[in-house]
């Protein structure tokens, strides 16, 4: 009898022990499941929040992209180069001829102690000038008056034959020396470079113009103030340089229409 009671007690204790072990495992498993559910819920919230942030970032990037596109369009300087008529006044060949002829009559004066070379005679000629061949843009001009040569080069520019105009203005500045149209030729040569996508050469040419003719305004038949304006625009990506040329323009040519334009340009 005692033996049977002992066996019963042992079986009872074993059963309780097994049940207790399973209960602990169940509780531990339940805790893990609850933890995973919480993590899933947290991750879902984070994913939702990140999706909203990504959406905001995409919208901001889109706005930035649109703004940059607009700025590129505004700063595409070569596309905004004014036509010859906008600077000379008028749009036909006669107006170009008249403007050039008027330039030869202008007597340059001393400006703030800086002497400007006097105008040479219109009869100044060069023995032989040839334009470098470029497809069908080959032009041979022999024993031609420098004023007439300039007119033809300018006319080529006006007709948007920029390669021919570039060749001719290059020849002009190399072959015709010490004349009253040299600064104008340098100016249009720089603009030809811009149209041909050679911005560095354009900037270099404009700087040569500034060095040779520091005080030639458009009003007096020069192009220095216009060249300074070009450099302000071309250096729009470099605030320091843009401000440098803007300051020169405002100090040397306060009455110039280009000075009035750059005064309205923010940051240069």
- pLDDT given at position 11: 53
Determine contact, residues 173/189, Cβ cutoff 8 Å.
yes
- pLDDT given at position 123: 42
Token look-up 């009872």 returns 12
- pLDDT given at position 90: 42
- pLDDT given at position 23: 74
How many other CB atoms are found less than 10 A from the CB of residue 38? 10
In order along the chain (268 residues), what is the average pLDDT of each group of 10 residues?
Answer: 55 55 73 84 86 83 68 50 49 47 43 35 42 44 77 95 96 90 96 94 96 92 94 92 94 93 69
Residues 6+ apart with CB under 8 A from 81: 191, 194, 195
Fold of 79-262: 1.25.40
Q: Is the pTM of this model over 0.85?
A: no
Question: What tokens were used for 199?
Answer: 């911005």
Alpha carbons within 13 A on the beta-carbon side of 126: 20
- pLDDT given at position 33: 85
* Residue boundaries of the structural domains of the chain: 1-75, 79-262
The whole-angstrom separation of Cα 230 and Cα 204 is 12
What's the chain's Rg over C-alpha atoms? 40
């Amino acid at each position: 009898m005692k033996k049977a009671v002992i066996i019963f007690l042992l079986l009872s204790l074993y059963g309780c022990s097994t049940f207790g072990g399973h209960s602990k495992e169940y509780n531990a498993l339940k805790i893990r499941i609850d933890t995973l559910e919480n993590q899933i819920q947290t991750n879902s919230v984070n994913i939702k929040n990140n999706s909203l942030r990504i959406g905001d970032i995409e919208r901001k990037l889109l706005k930035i992209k649109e703004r940059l596109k607009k700025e590129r369009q505004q700063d595409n300087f070569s596309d905004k180069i004014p036509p010859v008529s906008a600077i000379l006044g008028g749009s036909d060949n006669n107006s170009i001829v008249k403007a050039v002829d008027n330039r030869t009559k202008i007597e340059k004066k001393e400006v703030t102690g800086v002497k400007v070379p006097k105008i040479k005679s219109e009869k100044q000629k060069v023995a032989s000038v040839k334009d470098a061949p470029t497809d069908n843009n080959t032009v041979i001009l022999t024993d031609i008056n420098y004023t007439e040569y300039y007119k033809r080069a300018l006319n080529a520019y006006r007709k948007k034959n920029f390669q021919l105009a570039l060749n001719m203005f290059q020849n002009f500045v190399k072959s015709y020396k010490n004349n009253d149209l040299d600064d104008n030729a340098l100016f249009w040569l720089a603009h030809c470079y811009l149209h041909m996508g050679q911005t560095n050469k354009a900037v270099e040419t404009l700087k040569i113009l500034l060095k040779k003719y520091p005080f030639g305004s458009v009003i007096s038949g020069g192009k220095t103030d216009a060249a300074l304006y070009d450099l302000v625009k071309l250096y729009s990506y470099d605030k320091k340089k843009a401000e440098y040329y803007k300051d020169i323009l405002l100090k040397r040519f306060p009455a110039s229409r280009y000075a009035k334009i750059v005064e309205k340009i923010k940051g240069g």
